[in-house]
Amino acid sequence: MNHVKITTPSRLHFSLLDLNGALGRVDGGFGLAIAEPNFQIIAEMATGIEVAASVYRERAITVLQRLQQSYPFPGIKLTFESEIPMHCGFGSGTQLALGIAQAVNVLYQFGLDVQELAQVVGRGGTSGIGVAAFDTGGFIVDGGHRFPDEKASFLPSSAVADIQPPPILLRYSFPELPLLIVMPNCSRIYGDTEVELFRTLCPQPQWVAQKLSHILLLQILPALIEGDMSNFGKALNNIQTFGWKKVEIEAQGSELQLTLDYLRDNGAFGAAVSSWGPAICVIAKDIDRLKLETEAFLKTLPDGGTCFITQANNLGARVVSG
């Protein structure tokens, strides 16, 4: 084997389920793997660490050094052919870390599964959606972490270590329909700002977890299984209006809410912010028309924005060896 090419999905994270912990678990959540944007990484054996990337070079080196501490290997050369935008709601940190870890795993034949790789590179400490998106793709629900014996904090995945990814409760293939991704140019929530929001605004009231669970069980999942994208979208709209998702939207400023309102008023069945955003996933009957109209709308915002069409990824990361 001379080289391996890894193509990751992105993940959309629609909501955390429980940031209260009264029932003995925290986090939990649901989301979707999508085909683009993605990381395409070509990896070759080397005697040292070489990384050719436009944005992620330093972060890739950090991941490789962490891997070497647990599973020593001589070196590797990584060439990034495409990259997921950073701090946009696509789960780039998890896909980057797992894509690199899988490249090393395959090239050096360590025989590790994705859950083991996630623990080595420190991903999945809050949400399991990104890890499962890499592994299997599809629409995913995870069951959170035992509270407080397994996880005693309310923190994002980037700020916790040595916690295994949560159990996956279910995974369904998502319909092969076009999805519009809209990204108004607004603030980015990450790092210390994200940690401080978790620390100061958690725990959330118990009723938030109860309402989210009710919507997931009796609106989102039945609509998905029945292929009812209209009601699936309505349920996504519902969860944008309260609890932690409302916190995430308000933290971005007015442009994000204005964009959500525009999309819903102009033909979207549903428009849902992924994680802290600004990426919004839109489900609509006429995606091509809505894309053209949204491009015009984004030009009216102070800092503009972008949008593109993609679809669900129902397979997970693709590994091609040569």
- Average pLDDT by stretches of 10, the chain with 322 residues: 93 96 96 98 96 96 95 96 96 96 96 94 86 98 94 81 87 97 91 90 96 98 97 97 93 93 97 96 97 98 97 98 84
pLDDT at position 109: 95
- Which residue in 52, 61, 104 sits closest to 83, CA to CA? 52
Q: What pTM was estimated for this model as a whole? A: 0.95
pLDDT (0 to 100) of residue 210? 97
* Amino acid in the structure at residue 211: K
Residue 217: burial class (beta carbons within 10 Å; 0-12, 13-18, 19+) = exposed
Q: Is the peptide bond before 72 cis (omega within 30 degrees of 0)?
A: no
